Chains A and B, each alone.
Chain A
Amino acid sequence: MNQLFILAGLLEPAVGLIFWTSITFLLLLVLLGKFAWKPILNAIKTREESIKVALESAEKAKLDMLELKSTNETILNQARAERDMMLKEARETKDAIVSEAKQKAQADADRIISSAREQIISEKNSAVADLKKQVASLSIEIAEKILKTELSNIDKQKELVSALTKNLKLN
């Protein structure tokens, strides 16, 4: 009989304990829910979110860095290309200027030479003309002097008239 009592006590739920357990459980649910679980869960959630955000921003910063790096590379390449182009242009300009200068100088030189030549020719011509004039005047003077001396006596004059008349053929 004793054992049956014990078994009944083991398997039969007592009303009092059911009552107090219900009250305790509900109280715990309300009090812990309000004063413990809510702040704890919120804090854990906030922390997890902040960690997530931090990780995401780190990842974003990494991507930004990569992008920046590639942008830098592009800019650098562009600058290099521009520099090359500028150098090329400068060389071309220099070559053009030099060749132009050369051409101009050549033309100037040619012009100077040709004008010099023309001057020389004209100088020469004028000199020749002058010389001719002087030679003519000198010849006239000489002829004058010779004639003066030749024709100073009558004999000589006669001789000359005869010589001239001799040469003068009467046709």
Chain B
Amino acid sequence: MISKINTSGLLKVVLAVFLVLFSSSSSYSNKPNQHSSVSENHSVSDSLNKNASKSETVDITKVAFEHILDSHSWHFWGEGHDALVFSLPIIIYSNTKGLQTFMSSKFDHGHASYNGYNLEEEVIKSEDLNETIYDFSITKNVTQMFISMALLLWLFISIANAYKKTGITSAPNGKQSFFEPLIIFVRDDIAKENIGGNKYERFVPYLLTVFFLILINNVLGLIPISANLTGNIAFTLVLAVVTLLVTNFNASKTYWKHIFAPKPAALWLILMPIELVGVFSKPFALMIRLFANIAGGHIVVISLVGLIFIFKSIYIAPVSVAFTLFIDILECLVALLQAYIFTMLTALFIGSAMEDHGHSNEEAASNHH
């Protein structure tokens, strides 16, 4: 089942990448070695290029990636003066000027420079070439992350209070009854199943946090005006690094022995690098899988809506809406599924790293008591 989801995620990424490449020049679109599933995009990009010659055309690729990528302001709707845009705080650390904060409205959507800085394609550049800047701005993604954090805290602390108030003898109700099965699912079917023993309880809070943080941001990301946090590689990178750290700090002696002293000692020179790559490739796959699935899904949705603007016909709208609806429903499933897969694989990595073959009998015996 996971491999199936991986391929679907991969397909989406391939689709997205082709979309980017073909919209640039017609010379690419004449290449004959295209994948059959991309033929639709082929024609899309053709018409896009034809329209590109006219001045009032909509650049779907630009629009799509504006939605996918992070932004220094939160754009709701409209263009130009009619636009509803919230400016967000900019925090930059410069090696020459130190820490600076100001609102993103100072840049006037990239049209103006402020304090010697320019906003080019949502990247802050300094006019001084010797200056190196680090951007710690509260971007659209960061804002949504804070909102999701507040939501999670409110949701689960109020659920925890409900347990305190009603006690354990009464049946759960409201939010409690919706989230309790999910919590039990994470505990029993993810943590206990993959880590096992009596050590799994230590990891349940971590796995629950990962699961619900990904889930809530996947779901929030489906709202058209919201940010694409789980489809951002920086976010998935942090979660994957945490998985890497948790896995390796809890690893057993057997795990390290398996990496640094593989069984056929003669193959040590070949096996050790492979095993070492394996340590990093597992969380790397986690990072790419979540990012690609969510970002890919969003690109597909925007591309389908973009068909209306590419064909410049209202009659294409029902087709667009129907396909978008279908993909959106699929994305609802993907939102839950990717949260589950990320959490499940994290638990699996922890479980396999903690496995101690030398003491397995002893452990099994102690479990019976």
Footprint of B on A, CB under 8 Å?
2-3, 5-7, 9-22, 24-25, 27-29, 31-33, 35-41, 43-44, 46-47, 50
Q: Once the chains are docked, how many angstroms separate the CA of A13 from the CA of B138?
A: 15
Asked whether, in the complex, the Cβ of B159 is within 8 Å of the Cβ of A9, the reply is: no
Q: Specify which chain B residues have a CB less than 8 angstroms from the CB of A15 in the assembled complex.
A: 134-136
Using a Cβ cutoff of 8 Å, how many contacts connect chains A and B? 142
**List of A residues within 8 angstroms of B184 by Cβ:** 44
SS of A interface (majority) = helix
A101 to B187, CA, bound (A): 89
Measured CB to CB, the closest approach of chain B to A27, in angstroms, equals: 7
Which residues from B are CB-within-8-Å of A19? 136
Q: Is B149 touching A27 in the complex (CB atoms < 8 A)?
A: yes
The answer to whether A50 touches B168, judged by C-beta atoms less than 8 angstroms apart, is: yes
Contact B168 A11 (CB under 8 A): no
Contact of B153 among A5, A17, A28, A43 (CB under 8 A): A28
Q: How far is the CA of A74 from the CA of B183 in the complex (A)?
A: 52
- A29 CA to B134 CA, complexed, in Å: 26
Most buried by B among A9, A14, A39: A14
With A14-B234, A41-B204 known to touch, is A2 a contact of B24 (CB < 8 Å)? yes
Q: List 13 A-B contacts (CB under 8 A).
A: A3-B21, A9-B69, A10-B65, A17-B141, A18-B238, A19-B136, A24-B149, A28-B213, A33-B206, A37-B204, A40-B163, A41-B187, A43-B163
| B38 close to A (CB within 8 Å) | no
Q: Is B149 touching A12 in the complex (CB atoms < 8 A)?
A: no
Least CB distance from B117 to A in Å reads: 14
- The yes or no answer to B244 lying at the interface (CB within 8 A) is no
Tell me the minimal C-beta distance from B146 to chain A in angstroms: 7
Q: Is the CB of A35 within 8 A of B168?
A: no
Bound-state CA distance A22–B146 (Å) is: 12
**Pair B204/A3 contact, Cβ less than 8 Å:** no
